Amino acid sequence: MKEMSAAELREYRAKEHEKSYLLIDVRQPVEYEESHIPGSILLPLNVFEEQVEELPEKNLIFYCRSGIRSRAAALTADFFNEAGKDIYSLEGGVLAWNGVKVKGLPSLQLFDFNKPIGDILYDAINFEKGAFRFYEHIVRHFELKRVGITTSFNTVIVDVMKQARDGELGHAKLIYSHLKKLTPDALPFDDVYAKSRGDILEGGATFDELIELIENRSDDHIIDILEIAISMEYRAFDLYRVMSERTEEEPLKEAFYSLAQAEKSHMNTLANALEQSVPTEA
């Protein structure tokens, strides 16, 4: 068992594929719902010993509030670690984590596991189209409000939002590639995408809800808009990462792992844009 700092965890997650490790929150459900590290699954310490032998044979990272409960969990997991995987405890826990945290539970209800796998993937394409529409709306907002005005600010924000928009289209095509393997006679991607309403986004919010959030923001509030977009992306990552561990269907696991991995580059693009938009002190 090893200790891992918050900085080391950020670096680890940036370089590792999402299918290679599992981030486990051993706090109580109310603590997890209040805020948790994106992509972590909940396994409270009081039920941990009953399930420790069922954990997948992959690298495991445990965290809690301050590092005490997670250290106990990591030591226990290490005892059963016959595969020789790396076992970590987050040093200082959530109190030491200075990265993004998300509130609430992942929107697992968006996916109905009673549906055929193909239908679940159709739903995922619909969520990605919703995100595409969201970014397209922002792009048009800035292009229309600044017609004939060329500024470095306008160019940068439009470029970033176009990258994010096109990335969502790429995610939809990624899901379609998994769908095509399962259903070779599926309609062409363009037809499937055209039929998708895009009314709900990958993080669980509706398109109309997010548009209402940004509609009254002025151009001077671009930081607010970027924060809304980042929150959406982190919620999407959180959902796909948890879904990849919840489903027992291998095709779905692979699809959700792929989506979680793809979301990381989106989050980085938007986070970098936010950092550049925040004024620096003179």
Q: Which CATH architecture has domain 108-277?
A: Up-down Bundle (1.20)
What is residue 225's predicted lDDT score, i.e. its pLDDT?
82
Q: For each successive 10 residues of the chain (282 residues), what is the average pLDDT? A: 96 94 98 96 94 93 98 95 92 95 91 92 96 92 60 70 94 96 95 96 88 71 82 93 92 95 88 71 44
pLDDT at 82: 84
Q: What is the DSSP letter of 36?
A: B
What does the domain layout of the chain look like in residue ranges?
Answer: 2-96, 108-277
pLDDT for the residue 141: 78
pLDDT of residue 151: 53
Residue 207: alpha-carbon gap to chain centroid: 17
Query: Smallest Cα–Cα separation from 32: which of 44, 14, 49?
Result: 44
Give the 3-state secondary structure of residue 62.
Answer: strand
Domain 2-96, CATH class in plain words: alpha beta
Map tokens 């439009």 to a residue.
158
CA angle 95, 96, 101 (to 5 degrees): 70
In sequence order, what DSSP letters do the residues of 107-165 get, joined into one string? -GGGS-TTS-HHHHHHHHHHHHHHHHHHHHHHHHHHHHHTTT---HHHHHHHHHHHHHH
Q: Is the separation of the CB atoms in 179 and 118 below 8 Å?
A: yes
